[in-house]
Structure 1
Amino acid sequence: MPMTVLTVAVTLLYPLAIWFGHGQVEPRWLAGLLLLAVATRLPALKLSSVARWSAAGALVLMACAVWSNLLLPLKLYPVLVNAALLAGFGYSLATPMSAVERMARLRGEDFPPVAQAYMRTVTQVWCGFFVINGLIAFATALWMSEAVWSLYTGVISYGLMALLFGGEYLVRLRFKRLHHV
């Protein structure tokens, strides 16, 4: 539990720390934040190959920031996170159980085929979100100021995620009512 809280805190505060640190702290020292982000995810590395690849990618970005002393590799971390989530959710679409269904089954429920199809569609929607969010994060990293990048990756993208969660919840309630699930 404490590691989960730390992971969430580091993830949420990372863009703001990069923004506030820019111009005050050399990027090679800010790279320590990326190392902390990877370290908080170490327990997940045993569970998922996507988590292992994501951690390896983060370490490569960190090494590039240390070597070059540039901020860009650190700004690419949210792109990496979206790519990793897209890989995990996308891969699940090639398996019998989608990522959303796998998460829903953690509560021990069994679902009829119509609900499984719905969860597969929700997984596809999340894949679309990760593509768009990752592209915007990439564009802001390359062509926008640190303030715009930080605002998007540290505030707006989380707001969009919350809207998607909330919207899907409302659609799910309607779906359950219509299909008696």
Structure 2
Amino acid sequence: MSRLIGLILLLAGLSYPFAVYFGQQQLSPRVFALLLGALWLARLLIQAQRPGSRWMAAAALAFCLLLGLADDPDLLRWYPVLMSLFCLGLFGLSLKFGPPLIERLARLREPNLPEAGVRYTRQVTKLWIAFFLANASIASALTLWAPLSWWALYTGLISYGLMGLLFAGEWLVRQRVRGLA
């Protein structure tokens, strides 16, 4: 059940900009708040023991509450910013309190990661932190000053493309670094 809720939240997050773009005229922000709030509440109840789950769910629920009470369509555009800030927080906190998130992922495949690999994963974690900071900044600027169509295009398509490029680029660099070692 926990994986299903996580998958639904992921799909909701991916489709959110397009749902806002196409549904804003037909649905009240309160409907968005209710649907998102229900998903985050379910995640909190099911995955409360995971690191970061409580504070992320609490912040998302606070956002949903604010969205529901204000019933302001402009607030709908801040959700992708919140998601980027969540990712920034997860990567940043893992770097500070360790082990870095990328190192944890690397150790799933290579449990005895050499020191050079640990240093590399630390740098990659810093790269992801910079990406999420830039992504949150761009999404904020689009929220404040751009038309809804630009916001939806960036938060619903371009930002995911950039994430994919960063992921693929890092994978290629990692293959090269591993080949030279």
Instruction: Decide: shared fold, TM above 0.5.
Output: yes
Amino acid at match of 2:49: K
1:129 aligned residue: 131
Q: 1:162 to 1:2 in 2, by over 3 A?
A: same
2:87 aligned residue: 85
2:28 aligned residue: 26
Q: What displacement does 1:39 show?
A: 4.1
Rounded Cα–Cα distance in structure 2 between residues aligned with 1:52 and 1:144: 33
Partner-residue secondary structure (3-state), 2:96:
coil
Query: Contact between 2:106 and 2:113, CA under 8 Å: does it hold in 1?
Result: no
Q: 1:136 to 1:33 in 2, by over 3 A?
A: farther
Amino acid at match of 1:56: A
Q: What displacement does 1:106 show?
A: 2.6
Identity of aligned residues (%): 40
Query: Contact between 2:34 and 2:68, CA under 8 Å: does it hold in 1?
Result: no
Query: Contact between 1:61 and 1:74, CA under 8 Å: does it hold in 2?
Result: no
Can you list the C-alpha shifts for 1:135-181, whole angstroms capped at 9, x where unaligned? 111111122222221111111110000000000000000010111xx
Amino acid at match of 2:32: L
RMSD: 1.7
Rounded Cα–Cα distance in structure 2 between residues aligned with 1:67 and 1:162: 35
Q: What displacement does 1:8 show?
A: 2.3
Rounded Cα–Cα distance in structure 2 between residues aligned with 1:167 and 1:102: 19
1:110 aligned residue: 112
8, 16, 19: which one pairs with 2:18?
16
2:163 aligned residue: 161
Can you list the C-alpha shifts for 1:37-65, whole angstroms capped at 9, x where unaligned? 414633443211x3322211211221112
1:97 aligned residue: 99
Amino acid at match of 1:92: S
Structure 1 residues 28-47: aligned runs within 5 Å: 28-39=30-41, 41-42=43-44, 43-47=46-50
Question: What are structure 2's unaligned runs of at least 5 residues?
Answer: none
1:171 aligned residue: 173
Rounded Cα–Cα distance in structure 2 between residues aligned with 1:99 and 1:64: 31
Rounded Cα–Cα distance in structure 2 between residues aligned with 1:2 and 1:64: 26
TM-score by length of 1: 0.90
Rounded Cα–Cα distance in structure 1 between residues aligned with 2:170 and 2:55: 29
Rounded Cα–Cα distance in structure 2 between residues aligned with 1:41 and 1:106: 24
Q: 1:11 to 1:96 in 2, by over 3 A?
A: closer
Question: What are structure 1's unaligned runs of at least 5 residues?
Answer: none
Matched positions, count: 178
Rounded Cα–Cα distance in structure 1 between residues aligned with 2:154 and 2:39: 19
1:6 aligned residue: 8
4+ residue segments displaced more than 6 Å: none
